[in-house]
Amino acid sequence: MNPEEREKLTRIGKQFQVPGEFHDGHRIKIGHINETFAATYLHYGTPFKVVHQTLNTQVFRDPEGLMRNVVRVTEHVRRKLADQGHDEIPRRVLQAVPARDGKFFHIDDSGQFWRTFIFVDGVRSYDAVETPKQAYQAGHAFGQFQAALSDLPASQLVETIPDFHHTPKRFERLLKAIATDEFKRYDTAREEIAFAESMAPHVARLVEAEARREVPLRVTHNDTKFNNVLLDNATGEAMCVVDLDTVMPGLVLYDFGDMVRTTTSRTAEDELYLDRVELEMPMFEALVRGYLETAGGFLTPAEKRLLVFSGKLITFTIGIRFLTDFLEGDHYFRIHRERHNLDRCRKQFRLIQSINEREEQMQAIVDRLS
Ligand code: GN1
Ligand code: MG
């Protein structure tokens, strides 16, 4: 870490109730939105590790409300784990560290919004799933997280990003970007645009099910991609679910759908070799098994019926968000190469085609396991 970054992190660290003196830090490259650093403090020689993270307040317009959500949710989960007699609770749920003033955030001189969590040791995340066992673990962990929150009234949480998974609104925004084509990228994305438009008849299905009260609003994670679950280095067991910025009222289907998107193909989110992109049935089966083991007890029949469709719809929703961002000049998702958002979109759309070919088999698995 360069001297300026080190100086900045030292200054930020002083604002939080972290025991000891700043010793060392480094940037952890995760996420497309926030910036994250791991830092070690020495308290009379004993290391104490935390994560300092900025919050993008262009994306999250109510950061204080967001942190209230995070604290409420993590306290709730912590109590549940304790009641259920779990061991190693500090490794199973995030713990926010208060700032000097007792609030759970600090705003620095430049207006940056910072929060701090205790570092979870002995775990790692994976950008792409590698084995059915991992898929099982992801399903199990996110299902357990939803189950732990199933008695927390949704009304106690603010909506940190309104209409986050509202596919029809995301679709409208895409159509606008296509019509405007401000960056003259239409031609480059012609095929993807055609595919997106062909999906128009399906975009409203989940919001309509919600409006008709066929599926309930619950407290959900809303960003259940595979790299948001931390797996134990030694055992591979899912220990902790992270990235709680979008925990808010939502549909469990959005969570399950994003698990399907990120936990059924052993390829990266921006895989360039599309021939490798395929929904792998052993992965899907393991994911469903893990998820239903922890969430099956509270899901309604209507929710179970829509699980397979949700995989397709969320993959589509994230896909069109990448496509929209590409057409709008890449202002939302951090990119690392030219056309990166278009590559991300292509991968998502290829996965949808693979789901289309396997839908009946997938449904048979859900029916058998539920
Ligand atoms: C963003 O920043 P990160 O990686 O946690 C995005 C998710 C997308 C995801 C795609 C607040 O998550 O909705 O699914 O990228 N988060 C936000 O990788 O927009
Ligand atoms: Mg996120």
* Residues forming beta bridges with residue 51, ordered by sequence position: 38, 117
Q: Ligand 1: which of 53, 222, 225 to mutate, judged by most atoms within 8 Å of the beta carbon?
A: 225
pLDDT of residue 2: 86
> How many whole angstroms from 226 Cα to the centroid of ligand 1?
11
Q: Give residue 31's pLDDT.
A: 75
pLDDT at 16: 98
C-alpha of 352 from chain center: 19
Distance (angstroms) between ligand 2 centre and the Cα of 158 equals: 16
Query: What's the pLDDT score for residue 30?
Result: 73
Is the shortest distance between the CB of 303 and ligand 1 below 6 Å? Answer: no
Check: CB of residue 247 under 8 Å from CB of residue 331. Answer: no
Question: What pLDDT, on a 0 to 100 scale, did the predictor assign at position 1?
Answer: 83
**Coil, helix or strand at residue 155:** helix
227-268 pLDDT, tens digit each? 999 999 999 999 999 999 999 999 999 999 999 999 999 999
Instruction: Report the distance separating Cα 145 and Cα 16, nearest Å.
Output: 27
Residue ranges of the chain with per-residue pLDDT less than 50: none
Q: Is the CB of 32 under 6 A from ligand 1?
A: yes
Q: Read out DSSP for 309-365? A: HHHHHHHHHHHHHHHHHHHTTS-SS--SSTTHHHHHHHHHHHHHHHHHHHHHHHHHH
Number of alpha carbons in the 13 Å side-chain half-sphere of residue 246: 20
Residue 219's CB: how many other CB atoms inside 10 A?
26
Give me the helices (H) in the chain, please: 3-14, 63-83, 89-92, 132-148, 167-180, 190-198, 205-211, 252-263, 281-295, 301-305, 307-327, 340-369
Max Cα-Cα span within the chain: 63
Q: How many CB atoms lie within 10 A of CB 155?
A: 9
CATH class of residue range 3-121 = alpha beta
Q: Separation of 243 CA from ligand 2 center, angstroms?
A: 5
Which string of b and e fits 118-151 if b means at least 16 CB within 10 Å? bbbeebebbeebeebebbbbbbbbbbbbbbbbee
If you measure from the C-alpha of residue 39 to the centroid of ligand 2, how many angstroms do you get, rounded to a whole number? 20
Where do you find CATH 3.30.200.20 in the chain?
Answer: 3-121
Q: Indicate the CATH number for domain 132-369.
A: 3.90.1200.10
Token pair, residue 256, equals 């399950």
Taking CA atoms only, the protein residue closest to ligand 1 atom 1 is 32
As annotated, the residues of the chain forming the CATH 3.90.1200.10 domain(s) are: 132-369
pLDDT at position 29: 72
